[in-house]
Amino acid sequence: MINDYKYPHLFEPIKLGNQLFRNRIFASPTGYLNTNGDGYLNEGAAAYYGRRARGGAASVATFECVVDTEYGRGGDAHFSTGRPGVAANLGRIAAEVKGYGAVPTLELQHTGMFANRSLSMFGGEAKGVAYGPVEMMVDGRLIKPMTEEFIERTINKYIEAAVVGQSVGFGMMLIHAGHGWMLHQFLSPITNTRTDKWGGPAIENRARMLIAICDGIHRRLGEGFPIEVRISGSECYDGGFGIENGIAIAKQLEGHCQLIHVSAGNHEVDEVFTVTHPSMFQKDGCNTYLAEEIKKHVSTPVATVGALSDPDLMEELIASGKVDVVEMGREFICEPDFPTLVRTGREKEVKKCLRCLSCFSSELTNGEPYCAINPESGREIETKYEAPVVKSKKKVLVAGGGVAGMEAALTLAERGHDVIICEKTGRFGGVLRCEEKVDFKKNLDYYLNQQAEKIEKTPNIEVRLNTEVTPALAEEIKPDVLIAALGAVPAVPKIPADADAKTMTAQDAYGRVDELGDKVAILGAGLVGIELGLHLASLGKKVSVIEMTDHMNDGGNFLHMSGVRVEIKKRGLDMHFSTQAKQISAKGVTCECEGKEVFIDADSVVFAVGQKPLTEEAVALNYCAPEVYFIGDCVTPKNITEATSTAYLISKNIGRF
């Protein structure tokens, strides 16, 4: 018996209905949209969901499985229980999750008035018929009201889907009744203004369909079959419904389900997207207050979700009785081993989600959720079957200790190679270290420290700090393989500046805040410029951002921009688009905007106009080893996700000959 368990409440098993869950940490639904373009999940999906079961999750939820193929799917790629052969697909996922000791949970979904919006899940014109609680115009399309007959048909579709799910091995059904989807549309007094027994002011009426679904599933699968219902505790925007409606919904659910899962928001409101999926600008556990409040009013167990990655906070939430279950979405993408690491006293090794939303953006563009700091995410199938031992052990020289170089060194060492990593400065982390004092980047800094520490502790990695890899040094070391991860340096634009003008690069500005004055102009509205602007504004500076093009550059991570846009407004950044800087003085920047001269007041001017890759320096190393690879920003400056992914994949490929 282990008496000094640090997280006794987090690892206390819980019984929901007749199903035992091994701990209180559930993997909330996160999508895997590589559905072969036709709504069928592949073996990659089974490996993806199975990975978190391998890591110790108690329940692993799939993403949205649509109950009504014809009228419930957002687009053709949405998978659905109604399609021929899909049961076997689903069964593969259930078997994989069960095999590792977690309960496979099937999320049942219907998009209601947002159905048939696009040909694919990746955007496009609304193309088909959609039904909602009442007739209304949505995105220029007339939504048809559901008749009683249609409602009964839909309830049956949920029940049939649950029967299929249970028959192929799912141990719990998760009914999605939040985030703005069909059941949420019925639960909301704003969208459900029907005058019959399925809607209107009385919550009993608005919740009738949801309750009928739960009861119908219990009738078919048994009273003890666990049902989890996901609701939005509040829509979290002015004009949306608030916590009173969340409490009212939860009260209706008493006795009809086994777990009330309290999320937040409505996906139709852009600004609220980063409440549902809290951005890096919000505090840990920012939505738990909703579940805590709801728990006071019901006896059914309650789960919370959103921005959870700190095991101490999660333990406290359960120990204090504020909630019964904690759910994590992105933390499981970033650290599928979270439960096992925490349970075995290795919580310091847990990677903390950056909340950068790279996973979600890439899921929507590539179909697979690529994580900035876990390059295995979206590639679980490859990692599951790979041989752990390499054929031939190599001596590998890694030149550069930024995110790419560190990931390469660790991946190589784990596979048994002897690694020497050289970093020209005195510490690992590269260019990203400049943001170490930025509050919304604290998890990034945590990650850099973790990687650096891991490197220092790995016996088959030799560390050489303050060492630049030159061809002469490489000649001396004689590696079998050289990986050039040299990075990039900030670009400086050729704009005339007076002798007394104060200018510096964004990278320098972080460390020289006191020299900037009260008014700062930043040239460049890419992520580097804007995030610096947000940081400086939080320190009380008046920030103007000057951008030549007519838009911000999201660097491919368009969902992170939802959170950024909210913060730009909140922190009052003054944005100037289609504006070109012409002359810099000690008083500000003279610009041209649509043919007119504009003057922007500033004590100092910061350049955030991109990075100049150290390509020449990297290419100079090309013949310094039999095998040479170029990775990270020295190839072309991109983002953390690209840097860590390439570093990981290339390093894993070494030693095959």
Ligand X SMILES: Cc1cc2nc3c(=O)[nH]c(=O)nc-3n(C[C@H](O)[C@H](O)[C@H](O)COP(=O)(O)O)c2cc1C
User: Contacts with ligand X in 341-370 (CB under 6 A)?
Assistant: 359-360, 363, 369
CB of 230 to ligand X, least distance (A): 6
CB of 144 to ligand X, least distance (A): 25
State which residue, 40 or 360, has the beta carbon closest to ligand X.
360
Residue, CB closest to ligand X: 329
21: enclosing H helix or E strand: strand 19-21
Neighbours of 431 (CB within 10 A): 18
The contact pattern for ligand X, residues 314-343, with x = CB under 6 A and - = no contact, is --------------xxxx------------
- How many whole angstroms separate alpha carbon 629 and alpha carbon 621? 10
- ∠ at Cα 371 (367, 377), nearest 5°? 70
State which residue, 309 or 644, has the beta carbon closest to ligand X.
309
What Rg do the C-alpha atoms of the chain give, in angstroms? Answer: 26
CB of 477 to ligand X, least distance (A): 42
The piece of 23-31, 344-352, 374-382, 430-438 that touches ligand X (CB under 6 A) is 23-31
Nearest to 438 by CA among 450, 427, 446, 449: 446
Q: Could you tell me where the DSSP H helices lie in 139-272? A: 148-167, 182-187, 203-206, 208-221, 243-253
SS (H, E, C) 91-153: HHHHHHHHHCCCEEEEEEECCHHHCCCECCCCCCCCCCCCEECCCEEECCEEEEECCHHHHHH
Among 185, 263, 279, 503, binds ligand X (CB under 6 A): 263
Among 44, 82, 306, 529, binds ligand X (CB under 6 A): 306
User: Contacts with ligand X in 52-71 (CB under 6 A)?
Assistant: 63-64
State which residue, 11 or 49, has the beta carbon closest to ligand X.
49
CB of 46 to ligand X, least distance (A): 16
- Do the Cβ atoms of 358 and 641 come closer than 8 Å? yes
Among 161, 164, 275, 307, binds ligand X (CB under 6 A): 307
CB of 280 to ligand X, least distance (A): 11
CA dihedral 163, 167, 172, 175 (to 10 degrees): -30
- Do the Cβ atoms of 431 and 488 come closer than 8 Å? yes
623 alpha carbon, distance to own chain's centre: 40
DSSP track, 286-305: TTHHHHHHHHTT-SS-EEEE
User: Contacts with ligand X in 192-231 (CB under 6 A)?
Assistant: 230
The piece of 15-23, 299-307, 453-461, 579-587 that touches ligand X (CB under 6 A) is 299-307
Give residue for tokens 């170490």: 436
DSSP track, 412-450: HHHTT-EEEEE-SSSSTTGGGGGGTT-GGGHHHHHHHHH
Give residue for tokens 């899921």: 363
- How many whole angstroms separate alpha carbon 563 and alpha carbon 557? 11
The footprint of ligand X on this chain (CB under 6 A) covers a number of residues equal to 24
The contact pattern for ligand X, residues 224-243, with x = CB under 6 A and - = no contact, is ------x-------------
State which residue, 94 or 536, has the beta carbon closest to ligand X.
94
Q: In what order do the strands lie in the sheet with 579-584?
A: 579-584, 588-593, 596-601
The contact pattern for ligand X, residues 26-55, with x = CB under 6 A and - = no contact, is --xxxx------------------------
Applying CB under 6 A, does 510 fall inside the site for ligand X? no
CB of 17 to ligand X, least distance (A): 21
State which residue, 282 or 579, has the beta carbon closest to ligand X.
282
CB of 152 to ligand X, least distance (A): 25
CB of 263 to ligand X, least distance (A): 5
User: Contacts with ligand X in 84-113 (CB under 6 A)?
Assistant: 107
- The residues pairing with 463 across neighbouring beta strands, listed in sequence order, are 421
The piece of 83-91, 303-311, 342-350, 428-436 that touches ligand X (CB under 6 A) is 303-311
Which positions lie near ligand X, rule CB under 6 A? 28-31, 63-64, 107, 176, 230, 263, 277-278, 305-308, 328-331, 359-360, 363, 369
